[in-house]
Amino acid sequence: MSSDSDISNIIKRFEIKETGSIHPINQLKYEIFDLLNSLGFSIIDGPEIESEKYNFDLLNIKESHPARQMHDTFYVEDKGYVLRTHTSPVQVRAMLREKPPFAYISGGKVYRKDDDATHLPMFHQIEGILIDKEISFSNLKYIIYKIISSLFGEETQIRFRPSYFPFTEPSAEVDILSKDKKWLEILGCGVINPIVLKNCNIDPKSFSGLAFGLGVERIAMLKYGVKDIRDFYKSNLDFLKQFK
Amino acid sequence: MKIHFNHLKNFLPEEINIETVSDYLFQLGHEHEIDNDTFDIEFTPNRGDCLSLMGLSRDLNSLCESAFPYSVYEEEILNLNFNFENNDSDTLDKITFLYVEINQNKIKEYENYLQSFFSDFDIKKNNFFTDISNYLAYETGLPTHCYDYEKIYGKLSFESSSVNSEFETLLDTKIQLTGTNSYFKIDNDIVNLAGVMGGKATSCSKNTHKVLIECAHFNPEAIIGKTIKYGLNSEAAYKFERGVDRYAQEFNLRRFIKIISDHTDIIDLKIFSKDYKESTKTILPYNPENISKIIGYEFDNDDIMKKLVSIGFKFGEGEIISPSFRSDIFSENDIAEEILRIIGYDNIPKKEFSININKASKDLIERKFKSYLASYGFTEVINFPFSSFSRNESIKIDNPIDSNKPFMRNSLIDSLIQNTIYNENRNKDSIKLYEISDVYKKNPDLVSERFLTIAVSGRLGNNLKDFNKKLDKEFLIEIFKKLRIDVSKYISEIDRSKYDSKLKNKLYVMEMPFHVINQSIDFIDSVEIVKSKDHEYKEISEFPIVYRDLSFKIMYEKDIDQFCEKIMNSETKNLCEIFMFDYFKDKDNVSKLAFRFIFQSNEKTLTDKEVDFEIKEIIEANIVKDLIEIPGLDKLNLDEL
């Protein structure tokens, strides 16, 4: 026979308050921050409204580059500024401010003039840079393997492909093999272009660096199986509460 | 760009198959999909040299031996005495014109190589010269433009200037040219939008038998953005924007002649060529040791040098000379990338290293504060910063994606109210949302401030204790009291009449600068961070929820535990949530337990009958007659379901 205290315990079960949740994109951002922080990267932050100098010029993105067109980049206040198109300007500010060696990560909102089922005008990026003596492409591979196996498991098959970014040379895109045996692009990376080092007053003869950038929504979609990127920003409690 | 394997195969070893070529293309960085033996390749913007059969096969040469399989016209060509004026040699730095007269009546059926271009890609033929020009751009990568020679009624010249005039393209579309454009003109009439599209006035037709073929090199910056500006689709512009080989014009035109001669008799042939820039070569130091340091791997230099030669590079004493078609090679790092592509990125071993740098302390306050709010049932939202509201200090977006929202928000309140109403409309009756984000103002310079904004509406919670309590101002004050922060001045009740909301629930919002939280840094620091877990995401339904409340009378207390266990484990097709919202024990020690059952379908809006049927299933699975009663059950007429 149940005693009064038993009943009270049974009832108490139904008094438990429902906990809330941190947005899945921020959860994933923090998870990646924790990993990179454990590898020695420090977290830095910067403004979302940037000058063209930091967002493009110092990163070797020439004025004629398609990314600088009005149909790709949001300009504000009569072309005086842009909504940052990547988190790289945060790294540029760090390179101008600090003396190497250093290793930084930055993450946050970035903006591009896109809007469909796979692209949004606002999304989140995490970027990392490491500048030291004799940093090489093979070091970059080491760090990328660390990130991907932490996010998707040790067994994940990874493919590096040559790519092109004005701020890295050599540049690579990295794919992972999905469960249904399709290669899915996961991040971009490369050896920092010596032009960018020079632009940031770092002597490329003495130092080299690596850089990588991840789209947080893309990784979240793959990791959680979310099919429509727009679901992250509908503020739908049925969606968000699944990430408690 | 689409490249048909059958066409590319002519340049490659006979035994090669499509899968091997596909693997090589990935190794070289040419991401693609294959559809019906056609590679749809997404070339990176620096590799304009690969945008053709010749260019791609040339790039493959380091991995499989390739060769140009066709011949070119090799006889001497007389000079064309041609009065051409170039008024902008910064934009047009090299040009070659070829004059050809043919026997128009003797054009044969297209040879296989030409015919298959049109049939394999299902491209509509136009006229003899335009067809060859289109094919040749695919074969060699150099666009050409054909003028009907008999339509050139005056002096042909080139210039760049600001214009405002109508231009009729050879595709019969009329566009209004505005701003600075580079163009060819005859006397004062624009006849060709340089590198983008020719004009109707001088275009070739089936009757053309005298043609002036232009092969030019333009500064890519003069071409970029023009197709988007004028809504044109131009393969030529796509190539010019990415850079074409300025030294291959004569080769290209000699190939043009050969294709003509494969199909008809040539009556007359003359050439005009002008280079407005001193020829330059990209010569870089070549030090295998330095390059090994960039890659982090020691490679076989003899083998690599041979392979670099196979893709057009030449070597001098301690130096490497880049081929003219590689406009993307500027530095030792570019050479390192070439070598990496030859070796294969995946064949480079990863090299462990450690970062011996003092780590800056992490700023965890925001994250810990979020965990604190989560313990009170708050859900974090993230909204786009675009707003239709302009306040004094609002920042205006020059080119908004939605013209109704041309401002950057400088408060998060409107977003949070919209989020709350959206969820209320989805029958959510306990809403606790927050957002932490930067907002931007012009004051007079651009300044940013991080805000915390909270919105609450409805029940305190969907549990036995909180079901009958309302979310209100006091709830918010209480949460922050623990942090020793008085937030009463930041809270306001929202007037729903200004919004599209029919509910009468009170809706409270609270907005304050996030730095206020720092007043309570010691307390926040003691909060344990909620770590992310592996989530199994279930697709959400767009259809409304339907709920039913049922009260159960349990005769004997001993049965309560087992009953609750069973009821909480109820499963029906559309049942998605159950919770107890009332418990009462009467004077005879009989317990009454009230549960809410929430149903939602992924396929449709559920009818009352469908929900009642699922309720019947739950009751029949859980009720033990004589021990449990459901007051009012008889009114449900379960037997009829």
CA A209 to CA A223: how far, in whole Å? 29
A-proximal residues of B, 496-535, CB under 8 Å? 530, 532, 535
Per the domain annotation, does B38 fall within a domain?
yes
B35 at A interface, C-beta within 8 A: no
What is the C-alpha separation between B357 and A159, in angstroms, rounded?
Answer: 30
- CA–CA distance, A100 with B425 (Å, rounded to integer): 54
In the beta sheet, which residues pair with residue A94?
none
B63 pLDDT more than 90: yes
Q: What is the pLDDT of residue B418?
A: 95
Mean pLDDT of B302-327: 96
Residues with Cβ within 8 Å of B17's Cβ and at least 6 positions away in sequence, in order, are none
Q: Is residue B316 part of a domain?
A: yes
pLDDT digits (tens, 9 = 90+) for B411-423: 999 999 999 999 9
Query: How close does chain A come to B148, measured CA to CA in Å?
Result: 33
Residue B235 is assigned to a structural domain of this protein: yes
Q: Using CB atoms, which residue from A75, A170, A226 is nearest to B336? A: A170
End residue of a domain, out of B275, B293, B311: B275
Task: Test A64 with B354 for CB contact under 8 angstroms.
Answer: no
- What pLDDT shows up at residue A123? 95
- Cα–Cα distance measured from residue B390 to residue B80, given in angstroms and rounded to the nearest whole number: 64
Q: Do B448 and A33 touch (CB under 8 A)?
A: no
pLDDT of residue B359: 60
Say how far apart CA B297 and CA B299 lie, in whole Å: 6
Q: Domain boundary residue among B213, B246, B275?
A: B275
**B438, B446, B465 ranked by CB distance to A81: nearest:** B446
Chain-chain contact of A191 with B220 (C-beta, under 8 angstroms): no
Residue B532 pLDDT greater than 80, yes or no: no
Task: Give the β-pairing of B491-493 and A183-192.
Answer: unpaired
B382–A226 CB contact, under 8 Å: no
Quick check: B116 pLDDT over 70?
A: yes
Give the separation between CA B197 and CA B147, rounded to whole angstroms.
Answer: 12
Q: For the domain that residue B389 is a member of, what is the CATH number?
A: 3.30.930.10
* Counts for chain A of helices (H) and strands (E), in that order: 8, 10
pLDDT, averaged across chain B:
92
CB B20 within 8 A of CB B60: no
Nearest to B334 among A31, A169, A235 (CB): A169
Q: Looking at the structure, do residues B198 and B310 belong to the same domain, yes or no?
A: no
Token pair 């907002």: residue: B439
**Summary count for chain B: helices (H), strands (E):** 18, 30
Name every residue whose Cβ is closer than 8 Å to that of residue B544 and which is 6 or more positions away in sequence: B426, B427, B600, B605
Q: What integer best gives the mean pLDDT of chain A?
A: 90
The answer to whether B354 contacts A40, with C-beta atoms less than 8 Å apart, is yes
- Determine the residue type at A116: D
**Which residues of chain B from 318 to 357 reach within 8 Å of chain A, CB to CB?**
328, 331-334, 336-337, 340-341, 345-346, 348-357
Name residue B296's amino acid.
Answer: G
The dihedral through the CA atoms of A220, A225, A227, A233 has a sign that is negative
Confidence of residue A1 (pLDDT cuts 50, 70, 90): very low
* pLDDT tens-digit map of B435-486: 999 998 887 788 889 999 999 999 998 888 888 899 999 999 999 998 999 9
Q: Are residues B152 and B222 in the same domain?
A: yes
Last residue of a domain, one of B225, B251, B275: B275
Q: Which CATH number is A21-243 given?
A: 3.30.930.10
Determine the distance from the C-alpha atom of residue A119 to the mean position of all C-alpha atoms in its chain, rounded to a whole number: 15
Whether B252 is covered by a domain: the verdict is yes
Same domain flag for B269 and B287: no
Chain B residues within 8 A of A238 when measuring between CB atoms: 426, 540-541
For residue A5, the model assigns a pLDDT of: 61
pLDDT of residue B528: 86
- Residue B365 to residue B374: CA distance in whole angstroms: 14
H, E, C per residue of B539-602: CCCCCCCEEEEEEEEECCHHHHHHHHHHHHCCCCCCEEEEEEEEEEECCCCCEEEEEEEEECCC
Determine contact: B554 vs chain A, CB below 8 A: no
Name the band, by pLDDT with cuts 50, 70 and 90, for residue B357.
low
Answer yes or no: do B535 and A224 touch at CB < 8 A: yes
Concatenate the DSSP letters of all residues of B8-37 into one string: HHTTS-TT--HHHHHHHHHHHT-EEEEETT
Section B389-395 average pLDDT? 85
Q: How confident is the model at residue A15 (pLDDT cuts 50, 70, 90)?
A: confident
The residue in chain A having the minimum alpha-carbon distance to the alpha carbon of residue B444 is A77
Length of chain B: 641
Chain A residues in contact with B384 (beta carbon < 8 A)? 120-122, 233
Strand order in B156-162's β-sheet?
B84-86, B156-162, B180-186, B189-193, B197-198
Inter-chain residue contact B297 with A137, CB threshold 8 Å:
yes
> Å from A187 to nearest chain B CA?
14
**CATH code of the domain in which B208 resides:** 3.50.40.10
Residues B407 and B503 in one domain: yes
Higher-pLDDT residue of B585, B164 = B164
Same domain, B298 and B378: no
> Binning pLDDT at 50, 70 and 90, where does residue B586 land?
confident
A101 contacts B357? CB cut-off 8 A: yes
The answer on B293 and B268 residing in a single domain is no
Closest residue of chain B to A221, computed from CA coordinates: B537
Q: Of the candidates A47, A77, A233, which has its C-beta nearest B384's C-beta?
A: A233
User: Quick check: is B245 in a domain?
Assistant: yes
The enclosing H or E element of B60 equals helix B53-60
Could you tell me if B134 and B240 lie in one domain? Answer: yes
In a domain, B359, yes or no: no
Find chain A residues with C-beta within 8 A of B31's C-beta. 161, 173
Q: How far is A213 from chain B (nearest CA, A)?
A: 17
Question: Nearest-CA residue of chain A relative to B600?
Answer: A238
Cis check for the bond before A24: say yes or no (omega within 30 of 0).
no
The domain in which residue B499 lies consists of 365-525
Confidence class for position A240, pLDDT limits 50, 70, 90: very high
How do residues B254-263 score in pLDDT, each as one tens digit?
999 999 999 9
Contact residues on chain A for B352, CB-CB shorter than 8 A: 142
Q: For residues B494-511, give the mean pLDDT.
A: 88
Buried b (16+ CB within 10 A) or exposed e, B389-425: eeeeebbebbbbbeeebbbbbbbbbbbbbbbbbbbbe
Which residue reads 């290209």 in tokens? B252
Q: Is B70 helix (H, G, I), strand (E, B) or coil?
A: coil
Tell me the two tokens of residue B58.
């040339």
CA distance A241 to chain B (A): 7
Give burial (CB, 10 Å; 0-12/13-18/19+) of B287.
middle
pLDDT on residue B273: 96
Nearest-CA distance B346 → chain A (Å): 6
Residues within 8 A of A (CB atoms), B 175-214 only? none
| H/E element, B272 | strand B266-275
Q: Give B-chain residues touching A149 at CB under 8 angstroms.
A: none
CATH number of the domain where residue B322 is located: 3.30.56.10
pTM of the model: 0.87
B390 or B515: which leads in pLDDT: B515
What is the chain B residue with the closest CA to A62?
A: B221
Contact A20 B380 (CB under 8 A): yes
DSSP helix, strand, coil percent of chain B (3-state; round to 5): 30, 25, 40
Highest mean pLDDT, choosing among B124-138, B352-366, B491-505: B124-138
Bridge partner residues of A42 (DSSP): A104
Least confident of A130-134, B344-348, B390-394, B636-640: B636-640
Of A131-145, B491-505, B545-559, highest mean pLDDT = A131-145
Residue B90: pLDDT band by 50, 70, 90 thresholds?
Answer: very high
From the list B333, B349, B383, the residue facing A170 with the nearest CB is B333
- Laid out side by side, the sheet with B145-148 consists of B78-79, B266-275, B92-102, B210-218, B145-148
Domains identified in chain B, total number: 5
Q: Is the separation of the CB atoms in A110 and A150 below 8 Å?
A: no
Can you give the CATH number for the domain in which B599 is found?
A: 3.30.70.380
Band of residue A2 on the pLDDT scale cut at 50, 70, 90: very low
Residues B228 and B136 in one domain: yes
Residue B465 φ/ψ, nearest 5 degrees:
-80, -35
Ramachandran region, residue A231 (left: φ > 0; alpha: ψ -120 to 50; beta: rest): alpha
Q: Which residues of B touch A232 (CB under 8 A)?
A: 382
Inspect the interface and report whether the beta carbons of B29 and A64 lie closer than 8 Å: no
B271 lies in the same domain as B287: no
Closest residue on chain A to B219 (Cα):
A64
pLDDT of residue A115: 79
Q: Is the pLDDT of residue B355 over 60?
A: yes
- Residue type for position B380: E
Q: Which chain B residues contact residue A17 at CB under 8 A?
A: 376-377, 461, 463, 465-466
For the residues B344-366, what does the mean pLDDT come to? 81
Q: Please name the member of A23, A139, A238 whose beta carbon is closest to the beta carbon of B353.
A: A139
Distances (CA, A) of B211 to B80, B111, B151, B157, B203: 13, 21, 9, 17, 10
Pairing of strands B546-554, B628-629: antiparallel
The ipTM value here is: 0.93
Let me know whether B324 and B422 are in one domain: no
What share of chain B in percent tops pLDDT 90? Answer: 73
A103 class by beta-carbon count within 10 Å (0-12 exposed, 13-18 middle, 19+ buried): buried
Q: How far is CA A128 from the centre of its chain?
A: 8
- To test the contact with chain A by mutation, choose from B26, B355, B407 the residue with the greatest count of A C-beta atoms within 10 A, namely B355
Residue B503: inside a domain: yes
Whole-angstrom distance, CA of residue B567 vs CA of residue B563: 6
Least confident range from A71-80, B294-303, B555-564, B630-639: namely B630-639
Do B427 and B481 lie in one domain? The reply is yes
For strands A42-44 and A102-111, give the pairing.
Answer: parallel
**Cβ–Cβ of B462/A122 closer than 8 Å?**
no
User: B357 vs A161: CB contact, 8 Å cut-off?
Assistant: no
At residue A194, the pLDDT reads 96
Question: Does the beta-carbon distance from A15 to B463 stay under 8 Å?
Answer: yes
Residue B140 tokens, joined: 């060699």
Which residue of A23, A137, A240 is in closest CB contact with B294?
A137
A67 to chain B: closest CA residue? B225
Is pLDDT above 80 for A69? no
Per the listing, tokens 């290669």 go with: A183
pLDDT at A37 over 50: yes
- What is the mean pLDDT of the segment spanning B353-379? 83
Asked if A62 contacts B218 with a C-beta cutoff of 8 angstroms, the reply is: no
Which residues from B are below 8 Å from A132, CB to CB? Answer: 355
Tokens matching residue B205: 């037709």
Q: Are residues B84 and B40 in the same domain?
A: no
The predicted-structure confidence for A185-214, as pLDDT tens digits, reads as follows: 899 999 999 999 999 999 999 999 999 999
Residue B187 lies in a domain: yes
Quick check: A2 and B530 CB within 8 A? Answer: no
Residues from chain A that touch B359, judged by Cβ atoms under 8 A, are 37, 40-42
